[in-house]
Amino acid sequence: MNIVLLGAPGAGKGTQAQKLVEEFGIAHISTGDLLRAAVKAQSELGLQAKSYMDAGKLVPDELVINLVKERLQADDAQEGFILDGFPRNTAQAVTLDSELAAMDRNLDAALLVDVKPEVIVNRLSSRRTCRSCGYTAPASVDVCPRCGGEMYQRDDDKPETIQKRLDVYQTQTAPLVEYYRGHSILKEVDGDRPADEVYADVRALLTV
Ligand code: AMP
C-alpha cells in the first residue's frame, strides 16, 4: 500500500499516518520529521533547510526530492509507504510520479485529511511535539506518552509563523487535491473529529 497524505499543517496527518504504520507496518516518510532531524544533526541539508523552515516557507524542491528518493529506496519502504508532508507542490507531485514509475511502483491513494483553517490555527498554536520521537499532543501534555521524552513547542507552531504556513498550504499544496482527483486516487476524510473516528473512515476508504 503506497499512500500520500494531504492536508493543511495540523490537520492530523501525522496521527493518521502513525495509526496506519501501527496497523500495516509500512514505512512512515515524513519530510518534516526528516528535515527536523537534519537540522538537529546540523548536517549540510539541515543548515540549508533551517531558515526556510523557521520562516514557514517550503524548503527548495531539489533538497526535499533527494531526501524522499533516498528514503523510498530503503528496505523498510519496499512493502509500502505513507508519505506525510510530501508532495507539497505540483513539481514535487510530478517528480514523485516519475520516480515511482521508474521503480515500477505507483500510488494507491492520496488521502486528504480535511480541516477548516480556523480549527487549524487553534490546533497548531496549542500543539506540542516530542523532542525525541516527534509524537504530537495538546499543550497540557508535558511528557511524551509514547517514549517519555520532553514535549516542546516547535518554532514554526508559534502564531507568527502559523499564518504563513497556512498561506503556503493554500497557494502551493491545496492544488494537489485537484491533481490527485484528476488521477482518480483522491480519498477525503473530515479531519475535524476525534482521531479514532477519523481513522475509522480512513480504514473504510482504503478497504485493504
Ligand atoms: P511539516 O512537519 O510537514 O509541517 O514540515 C515542517 C516544515 O518543513 C515545512 O513548513 C517546510 O518548511 C518543510 N517541509 C516539509 N516537507 C516539505 C516539502 N515536501 N517540501 C518543502 N518543504 C518541506
Q: Is 88 in the pocket of ligand 1 (CB under 6 A)?
A: yes
Q: Is 89 in the pocket of ligand 1 (CB under 6 A)?
A: no
Tens digit of pLDDT for each residue in 111-146?
A: 999 998 888 988 899 999 999 999 999 999 999 999
Cβ contacts of 66 within 8 Å, gap of 6 or more: none
Mean pLDDT of 13-39: 94
Tens digit of pLDDT for each residue in 167-194?
A: 999 999 999 999 999 999 999 999 999 9
Cβ contacts of 2 within 8 Å, gap of 6 or more: 80, 81, 100, 105, 106, 107, 108
Atom of ligand 1 nearest to the CA of 33: 2
Nearest-CA residue for ligand 1 atom 19 is: 86
Nearest-CA residue for ligand 1 atom 11 is: 58
Cβ contacts of 183 within 8 Å, gap of 6 or more: 107, 110
DSSP string covering 23-39: HH--EEEEHHHHHHHHH
Identity (one letter) of the amino acid at 65? I
Tens digit of pLDDT for each residue in 69-88?
A: 999 999 999 999 999 999 99
User: Among residues 36, 127, 128, 187, which one is catalytic?
Assistant: 127
Cell for 15? 496521527
Check whether the bond before 87 is cis (ω within 30° of 0). Answer: yes
Whole-model pTM above 0.75?
yes
| Domain residue limits, the chain | 2-115+173-206
Topology of the domain covering 2-115+173-206: Rossmann fold (3.40.50)
Length of the chain: 208
Nearest-CA residue for ligand 1 atom 8 is: 32
Q: Is 12 in the pocket of ligand 1 (CB under 6 A)?
A: no
Task: Determine contact, residues 92/167, Cβ cutoff 8 Å.
Answer: no
d(CA 142, CA 39) in angstroms, rounded, equals 23
Q: Is 165 a catalytic residue?
A: yes
User: Among residues 36, 71, 88, 187, which one is catalytic?
Assistant: 88
Identity (one letter) of the amino acid at 49? A
